[in-house]
Amino acid sequence: MSQRSFVWFCLLPLAVVTTAFFLLPMARLVVAGAEGPHGLAGYLAILTEGRYRATLINTVLLAAATTVVTLIVATIAGMFLQRHRFPGRAVLIAMLTFPLAFPGVVVGFMIILLAGRQGLIGDLSNRIFGEKLVFAYSIYGLFLGYLYFSIPRVILTIMAAVQKLDVGLEEAARSLGASPWAVQRDVVLPALAPAFVASGAIAFATAMGAFGTAFTLATNIDVLPMLIYTEFTLAANFATSAALSVGLGLITWLILALARTFSGSAVAAAG
Amino acid sequence: MNTAGHGAAVQIEACGKTFADGTRALDPATLDIARGETLVLLGPSGCGKTTMLRIIAGLELPDAGGKVLFDGKDMTSVPIERRNVGMVFQSYALFPNMTVADNIAYGLKIRGVAKDERAARVAELVALTNITGLENRRIEQLSGGQRQRVALARAVAIRPGILLLDEPLTALDAALRDRLRSELNRLLRALGITTIYVTHDQAEAMELGDRIVVMRKGAIAQIGTPREVYFAPRDRFVAEFIGAANIVEAPIDNGELILPGGRLPIRDGATGANATVMIRPETIRVTDAEAAVLSGVIDSISFVGDRQRIVVSGASSKPLNVDAPNTILAKVGDRIGLSIAPDALRMLPSEP
């Protein structure tokens, strides 16, 4: 066996798995999407049909908000955790990264325990203001849940990036007269830009496609994965759900590609 | 250049540094640095020289009781961003997200200097540091020597009262280091800024320093001009750290040092059962063995071009290093005579 054919032989399992479980179902999905009453036009429904379009916009906004807030929270926390040593630091990091181990259902459950009808926040607000504050079953509850499981994904990437920062850069900027804010703006944030793009992309894609949390929380939340689920199981509308699935994938991919191009100059600058 | 004469005088009063984990990095030290002077902090790694520099910079706070004064003004609690110091780091710490020109202009931009004025100042500095033509390059496109120049240009762009350099040449290869050293020397003289320069390289310290502060284990071992620390080291550590030195321990009798290979007349009337004496290799002259008061046998010869280093055993209790002219023809095993002027023998305090 030559060196070349040996390499191909080793790649065979990957090829088989990719074909069987990725390419074939994808192809089938794409075909199924066009098999509805409107044919290929079914693909455009995600944009043309009012209800679908609203859901799409909802989902993108939710994912974008999750990404932005996660980046802000995780950057501040990651920078602090990487730069300071204090008792309980290891425990805190472990706790912050704990949600990685939870499926979306558990996260949804926790949101209900926090902000549901019997939740902690409702209890507290009832006692103080005499009114029960319940938001677990709305898009705000979902946002909180997504935030909860996006933060660990981002915080670890940011911590690794902060560790690689040259402290000398910050000291140099300060010696030149830069205030702490200016140091962050001109030196630290540009240097962390690649980490923002990489971890932000993961947070965004996860929030676009997450289903378990949405499913646990709710009935009246319109996000794309929920929509696909209802079309598929309740309405048995195979073609539409297939078209929506492909659409969800494409749109997520497109937004990430745009974000990458857009931030390309910033990333190169941070070299 | 109208940068000359804006240096500040620096006083360091009883500045020590103990880190949070209890490590003593610097014993309380007091230093006066004159306006426009170039002072070199010299010592092996871990001697406290960088800590001292960082205290002057404002990157470290001295232990309670320590004070840093610029032109008589107490700066101890003023943070680095308001001390108006220029700093060059060993890693250069150039901003990778900015061009060469933006790096140099950064301090001016922070100070709100107008764009035209910034451009003029950048042009002035790239000319001064010989990096004309690189203004729009990115940092990763520069060689080590170019980075060093950009770092220096950036530090002096803000017309600092004090220029602080932390091993600025250490990251460069030997040939470039020598070239940049003389360039740096010319530049520092031209700028006339008060300069504090940290290095572990004694050749750098000699060439650049108006005065050298030799440091050891967190304490100042000696302060003096390059000539003073070279010719009149205060102790054995300074003698051995600066240049090459033979340290001879021998009894003194009747104005003469008693050595296994003969007797050496000494200058002053020092006496003692056991004296410690420093002899620089270049002060020892090779003479004819028959007539000499001190003689020994050649152990080894290393020819280095401009001179030869001869190791002679039997003359002293330990082999003596002798720097002889490159014209002397001798071979290993020859017996040679050594003569040393009494002035070249430097008494050192005996080590406890």
The shortest CB-CB distance from A177 to any of B92, B94, B111 is to B111
What is the Cα–Cα distance from A26 to A20, expressed in whole angstroms?
A: 10
> Where does the pLDDT of residue B352 fall: very low under 50, low under 70, confident under 90, or very high at 90 and above?
low
Phi, psi values for residue B273, rounded to 5°: -70, -35
Residue B258: its pLDDT value, please? Answer: 87
Give CA separation, B144 vs B66, B91, B148, B168, B172, in Å: 37, 10, 6, 11, 6
What is the Cα–Cα distance from A149 to A100, expressed in whole angstroms?
A: 6
What is the Cα–Cα distance from A226 to A214, expressed in whole angstroms?
A: 7
Nearest-Cα distance to chain B for A72, in Å, is 21
Answer whether B28's CB lies under 8 Å from B66's CB: yes
Q: How many residues does chain A have?
A: 271
In this structure, the number of other CB atoms found within 10 A of the CB of residue B24 comes to 15
Nearest Cα residue in chain B from A269:
B97
Nearest-Cα distance to chain B for A172, in Å, is 6
Residue B3: its pLDDT value, please? Answer: 41
Nearest Cα residue in chain B from A167:
B93
| Residue B299 parent element (H or E) | strand B294-303
The shortest CB-CB distance from A174 to any of B81, B140, B158 is to B81
DSSP B138: B
Residue B269: its pLDDT value, please? Answer: 62
Q: Which residues of A touch B171 (CB under 8 A)?
A: none
Residue A264: its pLDDT value, please? Answer: 58
Nearest Cα residue in chain A from B163:
A175
Residue A271: its pLDDT value, please? Answer: 36
Q: A175, A185, A186, A267: best mutation site toward chain B, by most B Cβ within 10 Å?
A: A175
Q: Which residues of B touch A270 (CB under 8 A)?
A: 96-97
Q: Can you read off the two tokens belonging to residue A228? A: 């696909």
In this structure, the number of other CB atoms found within 10 A of the CB of residue B174 comes to 8
- Please give the domain boundaries of chain B with CATH numbers for all domains: 10-240 (3.40.50.300), 244-348 (2.40.50.140)
Window 142-181 of B, Cβ < 8 Å to A:
154-155, 158, 164
Whose tokens are 């080894």? That residue is B300
Q: Which residues of B252-266 are buried (b: 16+ CB within 10 A; e: fewer)?
A: beeebbebebbebeb
Answer yes or no: do B87 and A171 touch at CB < 8 A: yes
The type of residue at B105 is A
Q: Which residues of A touch B161 (CB under 8 A)?
A: none
Asked if pLDDT for residue B4 goes beyond 80, the answer is: no
Chain B touched by A161 (CB under 8 Å)? no
- DSSP letter for each residue of A90-152: HHHHHHHHGGGGS-HHHHHHHHHHHHSTT-HHHHHHHHHHSS----TTSHHHHHHHHHHHHHH
The type of residue at A57 is I
What is the Cα–Cα distance from B14 to B63, expressed in whole angstroms?
A: 9
Chain A touched by B116 (CB under 8 Å)? no
Chain A touched by B137 (CB under 8 Å)? no
Phi, psi values for residue A134, rounded to 5°: -125, 120
The shortest CB-CB distance from A166 to any of B93, B107, B138 is to B93
Answer yes or no: do A177 and B86 touch at CB < 8 A: no
Q: Show the low-confidence residues of chain A (pLDDT under 70).
A: 1, 219, 263-271
What is the Cα–Cα distance from B78 to B90, expressed in whole angstroms?
A: 24
Answer yes or no: do A178 and B87 touch at CB < 8 A: no
End-to-end CA separation in angstroms for chain A: 43
Residue B351: its pLDDT value, please? Answer: 67
Chain B touched by A172 (CB under 8 Å)? yes
Q: pLDDT for B167-215, tens place per residue? A: 998 888 888 888 888 888 888 888 889 999 999 999 999 999 999 999 9
Q: Pairing between strand B211-216 and B262-265? A: unpaired
Answer whether B43's CB lies under 8 Å from B49's CB: yes
| Residue B269 parent element (H or E) | none
Answer yes or no: do A171 and B93 touch at CB < 8 A: yes
CA B233 to chain centre: 14
> Where does the pLDDT of residue B1 fall: very low under 50, low under 70, confident under 90, or very high at 90 and above?
very low
Answer yes or no: do B93 and A176 touch at CB < 8 A: no
> Where does the pLDDT of residue B284 fall: very low under 50, low under 70, confident under 90, or very high at 90 and above?
very high
The type of residue at B55 is I
Chain B touched by A64 (CB under 8 Å)? no
> Where does the pLDDT of residue B271 fall: very low under 50, low under 70, confident under 90, or very high at 90 and above?
low
Nearest-Cα distance to chain B for A133, in Å, is 47
Nearest-Cα distance to chain B for A87, in Å, is 14
Nearest of B159, B227, B168 to residue B196 by alpha carbon: B168
Answer whether B213's CB lies under 8 Å from B225's CB: no
Q: Can you say whether the dihedral through the CA atoms of A107, A109, A112, A115 is positive or negative?
A: negative
Window 264-303 of B, Cβ < 8 Å to A:
none
Residue A234: its pLDDT value, please? Answer: 82
Nearest of A248, A159, A157, A254 to residue A197 by alpha carbon: A157
In this structure, the number of other CB atoms found within 10 A of the CB of residue B166 comes to 23
* ipTM for this prediction: 0.83
The C-alpha R_g of chain A, in whole angstroms, comes to 23
For range B122-131, the mean pLDDT: 90
Percent of chain B with pLDDT over 70: 96
Q: Which residues of B touch A175 (CB under 8 A)?
A: 57, 80-81, 83, 85-87, 155, 164
Nearest of B17, B22, B26 to residue B47 by alpha carbon: B26
What is the Cα–Cα distance from A94 to A101, expressed in whole angstroms?
A: 11
Q: Pairing between strand B211-216 and B38-42? A: parallel
Q: Which residues of B touch A179 (CB under 8 A)?
A: 81
Answer yes or no: do B80 and A171 touch at CB < 8 A: yes
Nearest-Cα distance to chain A for B218, in Å, is 23
Phi, psi values for residue B306, rounded to 5°: -75, -15
Return the number of CB contacts < 8 Å for A and B: 73
Answer yes or no: do B107 and A169 touch at CB < 8 A: no
Question: Which residues, 6 or more positions from B265, have their beta carbon under 8 angstroms from its beta carbon?
Answer: B255, B256, B257, B293, B342
Q: Which residues of B touch A271 (CB under 8 A)?
A: 96-97, 138-140
Burial class (CB in 10 A: 0-12, 13-18, 19+), A233: exposed
Q: Which residues of B touch A196 (CB under 8 A)?
A: none
Nearest-Cα distance to chain B for A179, in Å, is 7
Question: Which residues, 6 or more positions from B274, have their beta carbon under 8 angstroms from its beta carbon?
Answer: B249, B250, B251, B350
What is the Cα–Cα distance from B8 to B204, expressed in whole angstroms?
A: 23
- Please give the domain boundaries of chain A with CATH numbers for all domains: 1-33 (no CATH), 45-270 (1.10.3720.10)
Nearest of A75, A52, A59 to residue A161 by alpha carbon: A75
Answer yes or no: do A190 and B97 touch at CB < 8 A: yes
Q: Pairing between strand B294-303 and B24-33? A: unpaired
Q: pLDDT for A181-212, tens place per residue? A: 999 999 999 989 888 988 898 889 888 888 88
